[in-house]
Chains A and B, each alone.
Chain A
């Protein structure tokens, strides 16, 4: 569903400030191959075995490998949050919203900024290196009207929701899982509110959809070609 979405009609959006960041981001896409296989193939069986014994509570793979994977996921989330934070900053600066709509969208920018700083702090505290903010460019007209801004925001938020939910089973640390989930819920609120503002579907399904990194990246990374 969200996988078929193309933000900005597939036009280039992001440029990374360093080739290292670009490589990191591309590497995440590679990680998806592993993740997708893990989910589709081994997850139920493997987790079922682990769940059979209370002694296995909250224990994952070897710590170093586990934390490495979690850090990759956190940096993936950070990159998406950078994009969202920048998107709302520019959209609000364009001044096309007013009244209740402005009131409802303004806190979203604050949330995305807080997600950026929260994720950055968490990555640092885990000994990781936070991804730097990508250079972001938007197609002409993205913020030219209220409709264009909010419609793009709606696609963004839905993709963001599916991105977080796609990572849920891959996160090894429960603390990071809790933190990521607490962000995902807020993205769901954003998605629902924006959808209701544009006459869309605030509750598209009884269950949030989830997408793996490859699908999400396909939606946001035409620039990586």
Chain B
């Protein structure tokens, strides 16, 4: 690759039209303001936090023994997938000379009260994770890391679809989320994940997920939680958020 004076993104973005082009342009690359991620390590640590959250979620959920048969097998594989993502991301961050973020404290509230609430929250998580990877992909500069991140993204999409089917959700809008996956930016993703995060690790490396998270990281995070509820939609998630409020009051 040779570097040229022209920036491919900015020189071509305005020329793209049609469904795909419009969709791609939603991916934030051309918006004013600070980018969500300054470098690949920031993206990887962001992904690692989300994978930690997912791995912990399935570990607890599967331990609650709420499912059986093929459903149980699927969920065991999903847990294993998320754990593999955690270790792969950790190794990659280390190999790049970075410091992997620590696992966040988690609180999944009433998510494991029943098989339905478990799967409903899982469905939210997986779709959120899928959108998070897509929203971050454009910031990755190293093509090998990009391919690895994309390969995780696809697996999260698989999880999301199958969980949606286990729940018997309608095909379009439940199992599939349209003909194109939708990217979400970091602030939106973190707002949605906030109800599940009890505490972020105290010593986040520079560029950890708290930086640039804006309202999600400090002060009264009511706004973030409300945003999270709106985004999550699922009843189970709302219950979790309510519990999160109670937890805040108690501490």
Q: How far is the CB of A73 from chain B (nearest CB, A)?
A: 13
Contact of A133 with B by CB under 8 A: no
Separation in Å of the A190 CB from the closest CB of chain B? 8
Q: Are B2 and A62 in contact (CB under 8 A)?
A: yes
Contacts of A50 in B (CB 8 A): 1, 3, 141
Contact indicator B21/A121 (Cβ below 8 Å): yes
Are B4 and A59 touching (Cβ within 8 A)?
A: yes
**B85 — nearest CB in chain A belongs to which residue?**
A206
Q: Does A172 contact B (CB under 8 A)?
A: yes
Dominant SS among interface residues on chain A: helix
- Of chain A, the residue at the smallest CB distance from B143 is A169
Contact of B142 among A47, A111, A125, A181 (CB under 8 A): A47
CA distance A208 to B17 in the complex (A): 29
Given A56-B141, A175-B12, A181-B181: A206 in contact with B155 (beta carbons within 8 A): yes
Residue interface mask B166-198, A partner, CB < 8 A = 1: 000011100111111111000000000000000
Task: List B contacts of A175 (CB < 8 A).
Answer: 9, 12-13, 16, 21, 24-25, 27, 29
Q: Is B211 part of the contact surface with A, judged by Cβ < 8 Å? A: no
B180 touches A63 (CB 8 A): no
Determine if B202 is an interface residue (Cβ-Cβ < 8 Å).
Answer: no
Cβ-defined partner of B9 (8 Å) among A119, A174, A206 = A174
Chain A min CB distance to B93 (Å): 14
Given the complex, which residues of A lie within 8 Å of B34, measured CB to CB?
A: none
Contact across chains for A208 and B20 when beta carbons are under 8 A apart:
no
Q: Is the CB of B8 within 8 A of A185?
A: no
On chain B, the residues within 8 Å of A208 by CB distance are 150-155
CA distance A57 to B10 in the complex (A): 11
Q: How large is the interface on B (under 10, 10 to 19, 20 to 34, 35 or more residues)?
A: 35 or more
CB within 8 Å: A-B pair count: 243
Report B66 CB to chain A, min CB distance, Å.
19
Q: Are A185 and B141 in contact (CB under 8 A)?
A: no
B144 lies within 8 A of A43 (CB): yes
Binary flags per residue of A172-204, CB closer than 8 Å to B gives 1, else 0? 111111110111111111111100100000110
Distance between B145 CB and nearest chain A CB, rounded to angstroms: 8
A172 to B152, CA, bound (A): 20
Which chain B residues lie closer than 8 Å to A129 at the CB level?
Answer: none
Q: Are A179 and B153 in contact, with the CB atoms below 8 A?
A: no
- Complex: A125 Cα to B220 Cα, angstroms: 46
Distance A159 CA – B151 CA, assembled complex (angstroms)? 14
Minimum Cβ distance to chain B for residue A53 (Å): 9
Most buried by B among A107, A120, A175: A175
Neighbour of A186 across the interface among B8, B16, B176, CB < 8 A: B176
B147 at the interface (CB under 8 A from A): yes
| A93 interface residue per 8 A CB criterion | no
> Do B143 and A125 have beta carbons less than 8 Å apart?
no
Q: How far is the CB of A149 from chain B (nearest CB, A)?
A: 17
Say if the beta carbon of A207 comes within 8 Å of chain B.
yes
Q: Mark B88-102, 1 if CB is under 8 A from A, else 0.
A: 100000000000000
A185 vs B157: C-alpha distance when bound (angstroms): 6
Q: When the two chains form their complex, are residues B155 and A188 in contact, meaning their CB atoms are under 8 A apart?
A: yes
Q: How far is the CB of B21 from chain A (nearest CB, A)?
A: 6
Is A169 a contact partner of B20 (Cβ separation < 8 A)? no
A86-114 interface bits toward B, Cβ cutoff 8 Å, 1 = contact, 0 = none: 00000000000000000110111011001
Question: CB-CB < 8 A to A43: which residues of B?
Answer: 143-144
Whether A37 is near chain B, meaning CB under 8 Å from some CB there, is no
Can you sample 12 A-B contacts with CB below 8 Å? A47-B1, A57-B7, A61-B2, A117-B19, A173-B8, A178-B134, A179-B23, A189-B161, A193-B162, A206-B155, A208-B155, A210-B151
| 9 pairs of A and B residues whose beta carbons are closest in the complex | A121-B18, A192-B158, A185-B181, A189-B161, A208-B154, A114-B179, A169-B143, A206-B84, A51-B141
Which residues from chain B sit less than 8 Å from chain A, CB to CB? 1-4, 6-9, 11-13, 15-21, 23-25, 27, 29, 38-40, 74, 77-78, 80-81, 84-85, 88, 130, 134, 137-138, 141-144, 146-148, 150-155, 157-162, 165, 170-172, 175-183
